Every structure is written in structure tokens, then in C-alpha cells.
Amino acid sequence: MTEMFRDKIDISLTVNGEPVEARVPAGQHLVDFLRGELGLTGAMQAANTVSLTPRRRQDRGRKRMTEMFRDKIDISLTVNGEPVEARVPAGQHLVDFLRGELGLTGAHASCEHGVCGACTLKVDGKAVRGCLMLAAQADGADVWTVEGLSDLGAIKDLQDVFVERNALQCGFCTPGMLVAINELLEAGGTPSRDQIREHLSGNYCRCTGYEAIVDAVETVARVRAQKGPHDHSIR
């Protein structure tokens, strides 16, 4: 992202009580600035633990990116099986377009850094990070959100077992997990617990555990394998 948006911007802020003035690439994330420029390596890229007031965090996050790159681009894509045409700001991320313009709020924007998985979407058959993909890049794409997969019944068995096994967690992390797991299940076979964990390693829960989730995925994979080929795929 830093490489894509290299224009420099002067910023003035207070970090840990000290005034800081800097010239930063437009696409540089705050955590990278703090770690790389100020040597504050306590904030890890694995999670957005940088503390800002909600309003300031919003201002400095992806919304600011949208405001900075306002040139409009016409896009034409398919979302949850429906054709969509739109005119979007060049800097708008796909997850914001889906949430803000189409009202598909299942995918969340959390870390905005590609590490937490809350924004996971299915694009052209692959699980992708909606916070790292621009809406403009989705021109011509086939996009599915957790709402579409759910309405289609493609993940009904997974959703049912999530409830049965108490794997259902909060609304922030669960939608992304379901979309990521759907990708694994669509690949077929019966993944080992290690493979399930590996596949879900990009989907963070900040508060509970993964044991029940792995149980649920393992259960669904086994049931699907026993039933033989059947159409859980939407592609």
C-alpha cells in the first residue's frame, strides 16, 4: 500500500505526549510509521493495537484514504450473484464499498492491515482481504460476502455446526472466519486439525479460543466427505 500511494503528506500529531511532525507516504499505515520512523516497536503489525480516540482513528484510517483519492472510477461487478454497477472513489476499499454503498455489513474493517481476517470476502473463488483490495480492483470480479453465502445455503451446514459446537463467537470475527473456512471446505477432502488451524491463522479472535472452531470445521469436513460430492460450491 505504501508503494502504491507514494505521494508525501505532511502530518503533525502527538505521540505518547510528544509533538511529532513528519512527511509520510500517503499509503503508509500508522503502525508502520510508528515502528519504522519513530522506533516505537511495541505496536505489532499482527494487530492494530495503536490507541487513538475512535474519531481520530477513523479520520486517519481508510476513510482518509478514500478522501485523498477522490477520482471516481466506474466499476461493474457481481456481488452475491447480482450485477452491480457503481462509480467509486479510487481510494475506496472493497470492504467499505460493500458495507457503505451496498449495506452488506457482514464483513468488518478492523485492523485495516490485512492481518485480522474480519474483512474476508470471496473474490473470484478465493478468500481475500476486503481491507487490502480497492473497490476499483474488483471491476469485473465475482464477489461473495457472508450474506450471499448464507442466503445461498452454501455454508448452512457450517453455520449449524458452529452453533452446535459453541464455535459461534462475536459478530466481528465470525463472518470472516466463515468465509475463510468456506474456502477450505470447497477445496474438498478432510483437512487435519493442523491444516484447519493453518488455514484460519489469518483470522483472529481477540478474546476466546479456536478449539471449538477447529472442532466444527473438522466435523463439517468429515460429514461432507462421507456424503460424497454434493453442491456446496457456489462456483
Which spans of this chain sit near ligand FES (rule: CB under 6 A)?
Answer: 109-119, 129, 131, 169-170, 172-173, 205-208
3-state secondary structure of 111: coil
Q: In angstroms, what is the minimal distance from the CB of 114 to ligand FES?
A: 5
CB 33 within 8 A of CB 52: no
Q: CA–CA separation, 18 vs 202, rounded Å? A: 34
Between 129 and 199, CB nearer to ligand FES: 129
Between 22 and 212, CB nearer to ligand FES: 212
**C-alpha cell read off for 61:** 484510517
- In 3D space, the residue among 74, 88, 224, 58 whose CA is nearest the CA of residue 140 turns out to be 74
Between 152 and 168, CB nearer to ligand FES: 168
Q: In angstroms, what is the minimal distance from the CB of 127 to ligand FES?
A: 11
Q: In angstroms, what is the minimal distance from the CB of 203 to ligand FES?
A: 9
Q: CA–CA separation, 13 vs 146, rounded Å? A: 38
* Burial class of 232 by CB neighbour count within 10 A (0 to 12, 13 to 18, 19+): buried
Q: In angstroms, what is the minimal distance from the CB of 46 to ligand FES?
A: 10
Q: In angstroms, what is the minimal distance from the CB of 177 to ligand FES?
A: 9
Between 131 and 224, CB nearer to ligand FES: 131
Q: CA–CA separation, 44 vs 79, rounded Å? A: 34
Between 66 and 110, CB nearer to ligand FES: 110
